[in-house]
Structure 1
Amino acid sequence: MEGSASGLRPVLSTWQLWGIAVGLVISGEYFGWSYGWASAGTLGFTVTALFIAAMYATFIFSFTELTTSIPHAGGPFAYSKRAFGATGGYLAGAATLIEFVFAPPAIALAIGAYLNVQFPSIDPKHAAVGAYLIFMALNIIGVQVAATFELCVAVLAIFELLVFMGVVSPGFSTANFVKGGWSGADHFSLASIPGMFAAIPFAIWFFLAIEGVAMAAEEAKDPKRSIPIAYIAGILTLVALAIGVMLFAGGAGDWTKLSNINDPLPQAMKLIVGAHSNWLHMLVWLGLFGLVASFHGIIIGYSRQIFALSREGFLPGYFAKVHPRFKTPHRAIIAGGVVGIAAIFSDSLITLGGQTLTANIVTMSVFGAILMYILSMLSLFKLRRTEAGLARPFRAPLYPYFPAFALFGAVVCMVTMIYYNALIFGLFVLFLALGYGYFLMTGKHRANALYAATVPTTP
């Protein structure tokens, strides 16, 4: 679908798409992943993270085929709808929406935690709400401005991660990293395996949301060329950073002190340079760029998903309007923000399953992502069979092995996450069921939306 037809402007360059790809995810290098150490230990979590990295690499190479073949603001929703009809579109769209609406509150809380390190009087939740208001406004102003900002903060965030590694490297000790590295034990045993599986959601957090570039496809100048470059360069950048951050943080000292907090990098640096070092203050301030990059980028993602679902009648048409001046889906941006702010203040979730609020929000977001990954790979296989003649500017390499491994990895993740997070999964299913009820009641609305989209306007 052409950007002009949808009301969205095709203005994004390859570098801006790369900035979105990296920026969407890079907060995962700053926080969230260290919760995996609590259950798997450093070495066990490394094994889990490498498996997840392989799953994401094969997924992105496969997903790029879908994105370039069907450049649509709905991303996975559009692929599953084309492959499996309206019900498939609903499931993929709802899963993606849950992923992209629940990830920002976790990142906003981390922004609040980082600011609280510098200014203890600031309530992290109030800072999180402030972040929502600021970056929703920036997204409404225009996608070109938003994407340029995203590119700048992504580059600054990468620079800061490299600074972190350089500053802590003199104090790095392999002995620190491996001590108790197998779920608290110094040697691998069968007892280490459950913790490695339980850590899967936090390994996924290293890479979660990179697929959001697909939702900017209608706003790319040349999606068939630029999206493959952005995706592949983005996943390679993120894998390298994830490995580096994990190794240097774990080797800085007692890693158990970093395994259940929202700001592991400043705390790891504190072990090396002390609590009053200028390096620490710099990390806190520049570290915000990584969180801001992901937070801001995911707002781009969730707003386009809400916009696309509304445009085709899967959500109320009210959210399918673009701003008359800025040509951005302003109503969708605000709607996702309202849900995210509500999640920040959902204190009843803090003890659900015995995990922190942030950990539970991360897990909920990951459930949405994994379901979407499964549906996307199934869509790829289905469309290869039923639409062999579809133009595919980029074809998944080593087909069918790459998409098959990505599908296998996603299924393993889903099964183990259900086992270890039954309560959160029950809530996830409840959200899907409520959405499906709305889906069943609005069939006529979707038919009207489809009719309006296909009948030409009278001059």
Structure 2
Amino acid sequence: MTKVQLKKALNPLMLWGLGVGYVISGMYFGWNLGLAEGGTYGLAIATAFIILMYVTFTFSYTEMACAIPKAGGAFEYAHRGLGKHLGFIAGIAQNIEFIFAPPAIAAAIGAYLHLVYPSIHIMVFAIGAYLIFTAINILGVKLAASFELVITILAVIELLIFAGVTLPEFEMANLQLNPLPNGYEGIFAAIPFAIWFFLAIEGVANVAEEAIHPQRSILIGFGSAIVTLVFLCVLTFTSAVGVAGWEAVVYPEGSTIPSDSPLPLALSQIMDNGHVLYKLLIGIGLLGLIASFHGIILAGGRATFEFGRRGYAPKPLGKVQSRFRTPANALIFNTLIGIIALFTGATGEIITIACFGALGLYVVSMFSFFALRRKEPAMERPFKVPLFPFFPLVALVIAVVALLAMTYYNPILAAIFFGIVAGSYIFFLLFLNKKME
């Protein structure tokens, strides 16, 4: 009996929409918390290094994604290059990233809608979002990707309108107001919030198996997505902080508690909250959150699916739903874990754990890159990373430094992350290792 396969339905434009959509919520909330840690200069320096990491990493990752277009992404490459044990480590790190990022975004969606409908509890909106977008993903990848493309384009347009409104009020002096409040240590403390600007871009590789002409489509989708995101990151950071300084987009007036809404705070410096443009921009701001939430659910489902298909997790997670040809079991499993995480109410901590997962993934992926180059030099590589070995080496070094810095500044969360990895690995050794092919 022939196994049901994932459906090939994604073109380069859809892959661009997914790549940008996975990440774009990072432009709308979360990044400004890095200003409280490092100020304008601290977050800017951290972001510059993280941009360098993501550019070099993305090109290196694209080489592997084009050569091995599988839904598992990172752990598929690690399995082949480093063996099943490090393949498991790459896979569990990837799953932690993709499972823990959506609850943080769902909480932001719930908080946003709660402002509009205060009589309805935040959790109702957050759980409702999970159920709706998991259902869309189960119904078909083309439907999911088409929906993602539309809301991503609208979210990008909104950021461009935001910049168009705020840049006329930009003053260079505002970037120099208390620019390094916590000294040079603030640079390292700001790292997870710089990562939040780009977290999950690598999810493009997880839909490679569903791409039409994957070798060509992945290269175009990945490359155009990272260029778009770097541009939006610099534009949003500069236009928001340049209006009235970093503190104006971190602390609401009369409060010492950091806000999750930097763009509305920036707009409030130049127009009344009753202004039609203010209401328009805030009204469609929800789309940026939805784009990332929906997109990461899509990518995370593929990562968990391949984990099960490969034997790193229980086999039912690796089954394809016969009617819609989507990884329904994996999507439902991730949603259940995400909803449990939602009930902790620890949004900031969840973001940081997701960042730990991402950095763990990046480190093992770059070791996999070098291993594959050494072990399989004759492998067909439709795309080769430029400036080898400089690009993958730079990505590896920055990822290692960022992981060490985050561990130093977040020891308890680091212990939780490494505890999850260790516990999962022990479960793998005891119950799944001998059953693998």
So what's the TM-score if we normalise by structure 2? 0.95
Shift of 1:404: 0.4
Counterpart Cα distance in 1 of 2:333 and 2:270: 43
Partner of 1:344: 342
- Please say which of residues 271-280 and 91-100 is displaced more in the overlay: 271-280
Offset at residue 251 of structure 1 (A):
1.8
Distance of 1:308 and 1:425 partners within structure 2? 26
- The residue identity in structure 2 corresponding to 1:221 is I
Q: Tell me if 1:238 matches 2:229.
A: yes
Aligned to 1:411: 400
- How many residues are matched? 429
Shift of 1:276: 1.3
1:164-202 per-position Cα deviation (integer Å, ceiling 9, x unaligned): 11122233232223211112xxxxxxx621001010000
Counting only pairs closer than 5 Å after superposition, residues 95-114 of structure 1 correspond to structure 2 as 95-114=93-112
In the TM superposition, what is the alpha-carbon distance from 1:123 to its structure 2 partner?
A: 2.8
C-alpha displacement at 1:358, in angstroms? 2.0
Matches within 5 A, 1:204-283: 204-259=195-250, 260-283=258-281
Q: Deviations over 1:297-346 (max 9, x none)?
A: 10111101111011111111121222221111111111111111111111
Partners of 1:381 and 1:419 lie apart in 2 by 28
Alignment check: 8 A CA contact 1:153 1:289 kept: yes
Report how far residue 445 of structure 1 moved: 6.0
Percent of residue pairs identical: 46
Amino acid paired to 1:244: L
Matches within 5 A, 1:142-153: 142-153=140-151
Matches within 5 A, 1:61-100: 61-100=59-98
Q: How far apart are residue 11 of structure 1 and its match? A: 1.1
Deviations 1:218-272 (A, max 9, x none): 0001111010111111101000000111111112225324322222112221221
Q: Which runs of 5+ in 1 are unaligned?
A: 184-190, 348-356, 451-459
* Per-residue Cα deviation, 1:434-458 (whole angstroms, up to 9, x for no partner): 10121112236633xx3xxxxxxxx
Give 3-state SS (helix, strand or coil) of 1:207's partner. coil
Which of 273, 284, 287 pairs up with 1:286? 284
Residue 47 of structure 1: how far off its partner (Å):
1.2
Q: 2:183 is matched by which residue type in structure 1? A: S
d(CA) in 2 for partners of 1:64, 1:421: 31
Identify the residue that residue 128 of structure 1 maps to in structure 2.
Answer: 126
Q: Given residue 314 of structure 1, which amino acid in structure 2 is its aligned partner?
A: Y
Letter in 2 for 1:234: A
Distance in 2 between the 1:233 and 1:122 partners? Answer: 39
1:201 and 2:192 equivalent? yes
Give yes or no for the alignment of 1:389 onto 2:387: no
Secondary structure of 1:273 counterpart: coil
Q: Does the 8 Å contact 2:4/2:322 carry over to 1? A: no
User: Compared with structure 1, are the counterparts of its residues 441 and 294 closer, same or farther at alpha carbon in structure 2 (3 Å cutoff)?
Assistant: same
CA distance in 1, matches of 2:269, 2:4: 52
Q: Deviations over 1:94-113 (max 9, x none)?
A: 00000000000111111122
1:116-163 CA-to-partner distances (Å, cap 9, x unmatched) read 333333433321111111101111110000001111111111000001
TM-score by length of 1: 0.91
Question: In structure 2, what is the equivalent of residue 367 of structure 1?
Answer: 356
Provide the C-alpha distance between the structure 2 equivalents of 1:66 and 1:372, rounded to a whole number of angstroms: 14
CA distance in 2, matches of 1:444, 1:364: 26
Q: Paired residue for 2:427, among 409, 417, 438?
A: 438
In the other structure, the counterpart of 1:50 is: 48
Computed over aligned residues only, the root mean square deviation of the Cα atoms, in angstroms, reads: 1.4
Cα distance in 2, alignment partners of residues 314 and 386 from structure 1:
23
